[in-house]
Amino acid sequence: MVDASVFADMGGEYKMVLVVRNDLKMGKGKIAAQCGHAAVGAYESGLRNTPAAIRKWQTMGQAKIALKVENELAMMEIYRSAKANKLNCCLIRDAGRTQIEPNTKTVLAIGPAPVAAVDSVTGHLKLL
C-alpha cells in the first residue's frame, strides 16, 4: 500500500491518464469500454491507496486524458516506471469475449496524481 500522504501536500492540478495500446486496432467502442474499466479500477485502488489524491482530483474536475502507446512492451515500461514512482495504476486485461484475445493487456490507467508526477512517466506520449 502506498502512503496516503505521498501526494497530499502537493499543490497544482491532478489528472488520470489512460494509456491505450495502438497496435491492437481496437474499435472505438472497445477502446471506450476498456478505458472505462481502467478509470474505474484506478479510482477504486486510489480510494484504498491514495485517498488524498482522489479527493484533490475530484475537486479539480476529474481530468482524464487518453494517450496512445505503440505496443505492449512500451506500455509495460511505462507501468514499471509509474509503479517505481509510487503512482496509482490499473492495468486492464481483456476477457476475450469480442475483438481481443483473452488476457491481452489493453489499457493502463495512471493516477489520479499531480500532473507533474504523471507527466514524468507519460509526458512523451501522444494523445489518442
Instruction: Say if 8 falls within a structural domain.
Output: no
Number of compact structural domains in the chain = 1
Assess if residue 64 is contained within a domain. yes
pLDDT in tens, 99-126: 899 999 999 999 999 999 999 999 999 9
User: Phi, psi at residue 50, to the nearest 5°?
Assistant: -140, 60
CA separation for the pair 96, 9 (Å, rounded): 41
Residue 7 reports pLDDT greater than 90 = no
Kindly state the helix (H) or strand (E) to which residue 45 belongs, with its residue range.
Answer: helix 28-49
The cell numbers describing 126, all together, are 501522444
Give residue 11's pLDDT band: very low, low, confident or very high (50, 70, 90): low
Q: Give a yes or no: residue 26 inside a domain.
A: yes
Task: With respect to residue 2, please indicate whether it lies within any of the assigned structural domains.
Answer: no
In a domain, 83, yes or no: yes
Residue 5 lies in a domain: no
- The range of the structural domain enclosing residue 112 comes to 14-121
Model confidence pLDDT, tens digit, residues 27-78: 999 999 999 999 999 999 999 999 999 999 999 999 999 999 999 999 999 9
Could you tell me if residue 4 is inside a domain?
Answer: no
User: Domain holding 44: CATH number?
Assistant: 3.40.1490.10
> Residue 61 corresponds to which cell in the numbers above?
474536475
